[in-house]
Structure 1
């Protein structure tokens, strides 16, 4: 994947491997999905959303934001999410992926009760 001028290599989860198109494995070009333009990706995402009955606007950017938010919600640390997104500055990730209230509450609950 190339977000900026530098290529970004990402690991693939076991779940994603289940969806790996067989025809691209034999090419040996390192690409998993033959999608070259963001517009192509957006059209496919919009079709999937429509087929699933999702009324919300879906795009590559929305998918990235959702993925980052899900990783943070499931406990991934901000630094790792930042690197997976290809951000050079962690401040970009802090803006890009909102920290859900549940995680904030969990963080506060780690502070020991000082009055006991």
Structure 2
């Protein structure tokens, strides 16, 4: 007998699958394929942003994506929704009548 349908639980379990020999989590964040920790565990030929770096200088470790110019921390990946949630700096510059400025940065 062949099954033609899958349950939502089965679909959701696929989202935590990584390539054989590759970690499927960085800290508390699941890293599902085509994302992967390191170039050999990700679909890097499709996009360099599939390559996740696991920064283990934090406890728990924190996943990041990016390059030398810009790196952001990943807080979650949902293949089902086609989204990656990241912490991104907030930059805001306000100019007053005397042209002074205030710059605010931080994570969201």
Q: Which has the higher strand share?
A: 2
> What is the TM-score of this pair, normalised by structure 1?
0.26
> What is the TM-score of this pair, normalised by structure 2?
0.27
